[in-house]
Structure 1
Amino acid sequence: MGKKKPVKTLKSLAAGRPPTIQKQKPKSITRKATKALINKLHLLEKRKTQAIAKGDAKEEAAIDSEIMELGGLERYQEASLQGQRHDRGGDSSRVLMDWLKTQLPSMKELKDGKASRRSMLEVGALSTENACSKSGQFDIVRIDLNSQGEGILQQDFMERPLPVDDSERFDIISLSLVLNFVPDPKGRGDMLFRTTQFLRQPEGSATSPDAGFPNLFLVLPAPCVSNSRYLDEDRLEEIMASVGYAKTASKMTQRLVYYLWRKVSNCPRPAKSFSKKEIRSGASRNNFAITLG
């Protein structure tokens, strides 16, 4: 019997993202082509994750080559930016701004010094021109694996140094179409738990002005929740509660699902373990999952 190959684990978010290529001038692509490109890259990333887990270096290299032919991470980001155009219903941060409008001070209060701006960490930032950036309400730190310009730090969230005090923590973290790029269920659970360490301590009671902070804005492709074998709305809420979050708002469209989670407790570790357990059966289901512990 041959020697069993060791199983590789993916330790950072970068391992689950398409490789980068030399920068090219962005080209406008149609909405249909945008969707097809993003779906194709997601499928290739899934196959790559499976190849890495099996230790199949030849298959991994072949998939990387195919991803590069499609344009790699930069082409994916280009397609994502096209999808954020107003005429295509993009920019998920507009949903966040709508949810937070009753919690944010007026511009006059900010100008008169009667209130201060909230701090935000935007993970997977593609632009400095989204609704949150233009609002003037936030001091924003933007990070991405492949920075698309000034104002976005090139950094892997899973390798970002942990805060030493509240001056390095945030009122809001945005994870818009980021969690679905983490290549394995355990890594997704690790990322969700890690967000709690970058948020400030829960403040105020349910009726206080701070009732909406600190919080996590999470956006996923809708099928990750609506059509997964291993994840539905109830299970996601249980997982989030286990790391200290309570859901305060949600919205599902044909393509995306949006959530606002408030950090309500400090958990030194997840309160409960979650394995990869089938919730729905059927050949048409996808395998998106989140595990903890």
Structure 2
Amino acid sequence: MPKTARKRKTPITNIPSASTSSCKPESTRAVIRRFHVLLKRQAQLKKLVVHDLAQRTELANVEGEIEELGLENYQKMSAIGQRSDRGGGSEKILIRWLKDKEMHKTERKLKLLEVGALKPDNYDDCSTWIEATPMDLNSRHPSILEQDFLLLDEEMNREKWDLISLSLVLNFVPEPPDRGRMLRLSNIFLVEDGHLFVALPLPCLANSRYLDFDLFTSLMTFLGFTELQRRWRKDGKMVYYLFQKKTDVKTPSRERLVVPERFTKKITLRQGNRNNFSILL
């Protein structure tokens, strides 16, 4: 009896080109999620001393899929997800919050470092009061500085910025300690009373095994930030924060403070079907 030909499964990377405007939200999210998973697994495998063939083969397969999927394709999908017909970019929320504080009436322009910028003109409408520096690991435009935030010179950027935006950036960083270091550096780079904008996928806090809203707020307080604004919906996809840098002169330098264990080790806060997102110091 002749065998029935099996239908070949379509790989996750076989997704319609992001250059068209017809990409469905499901396809966009699939690319973004898969890219994050691959980067995380790549970082895990690279940390191991790879002796056996199975681990070497897995690392090669992961890196091959990352190359096939492509950072540029990921960025295109992310840019599509930020179009006005998909809810718009998070910069609109930041701008609204800053205007609520009447910061658009300042005597000098506010220096903004926009980390993970996919477009160079997100803040063009605010050019009279915001001097934006868009930056990304893999620049897609001559006006976007190609730079790893974690490799910025600490002394050159100390108290240099009035505003820092980390919109969908922390969740892109593969390792939890590097996410914590990114927040530490943000505090160092901001002027006193400077503002940090953070946007995360809601499941990072609402459905994580190791991180919830209270722990995240406690961690930010320890780093020297005061929460000013928070926005999310129970049935939404994102959570947005606005923090302000506040130095307590009565407290010793944070470099000399003992970091509480709850910020240095993964501690299970929830059971069940959860994700593993965490931030460690």
Q: TM-score, normalised by structure 2?
A: 0.82
In the comparison of the two structures, how many residue pairs are matched? 248
**Unaligned residue ranges in structure 2 (runs of 5+):** 1-16, 51-55
Residue type at the aligned position of 1:26: S
Question: In 2, Cα distance between the equivalents of 1:96 and 1:251?
Answer: 11
**Unaligned residue ranges in structure 1 (runs of 5+):** 1-23, 203-213
Does the C-alpha gap of structure 1 residues 73 and 165 become closer, same or farther in structure 2, counting only changes over 3 Å? closer
Are 1:37 and 2:36 counterparts?
no
Could you say which residue in structure 2 is the equivalent of 1:245? 225
C-alpha contact (below 8 Å) 1:121/1:174 kept by paired residues = yes
CA deviation profile, 1:52-104 (whole Å, cap 9, x unmatched): 2333443222101112222x110010001101100110300101011111334
Identity %: 40
SS in 1 for 2:191: coil
Are 1:125 and 2:117 counterparts?
yes
Within a 5 Å distance, the mapping from 1:268-279 to structure 2 comes to 268-269=254-255, 271=257, 272-273=259-260, 274=263, 275-279=265-269
Question: In 2, Cα distance between the equivalents of 1:228 and 1:291?
Answer: 14
Cα deviation, residue 46, structure 1:
2.5
Residue type at the aligned position of 2:267: K
* CA-based RMSD: 2.1
Could you say which residue in structure 2 is the equivalent of 1:193? 184
Cα deviation, residue 116, structure 1:
1.5
Are 1:144 and 2:143 counterparts?
no
User: Residue 255 of structure 1 is aligned with which of 237, 240, 250?
Assistant: 237
Could you say which residue in structure 2 is the equivalent of 1:264? 246
Residue type at the aligned position of 1:65: G
Within a 5 Å distance, the mapping from 1:26-175 to structure 2 comes to 26-28=19-21, 29-56=23-50, 57-70=56-69, 72-104=70-102, 115-130=107-122, 132-136=123-127, 137-164=129-156, 169-175=160-166
Question: In 1, Cα distance between the equivalents of 2:156 and 2:201?
Answer: 33
Cα deviation, residue 280, structure 1:
0.8
SS in 1 for 2:192: coil
Structure number, greater radius of gyration: 2
CA deviation profile, 1:194-251 (whole Å, cap 9, x unmatched): 111110123xxxxxxxxxxx11000111100000011001100111111100110011
Q: TM-score, normalised by structure 1?
A: 0.79
Could you say which residue in structure 2 is the equivalent of 1:17? none
C-alpha contact (below 8 Å) 1:163/1:169 kept by paired residues = no
SS in 2 for 1:201: strand
Cα deviation, residue 105, structure 1:
5.1
Within a 5 Å distance, the mapping from 1:197-208 to structure 2 comes to 197-202=188-193
Question: In 1, Cα distance between the equivalents of 2:242 and 2:96?
Answer: 11
C-alpha contact (below 8 Å) 2:43/2:174 kept by paired residues = yes
SS in 1 for 2:138: coil
Q: Which has the higher contact order (CA 8 A, sep 6+)?
A: 1
Cα deviation, residue 47, structure 1:
2.1
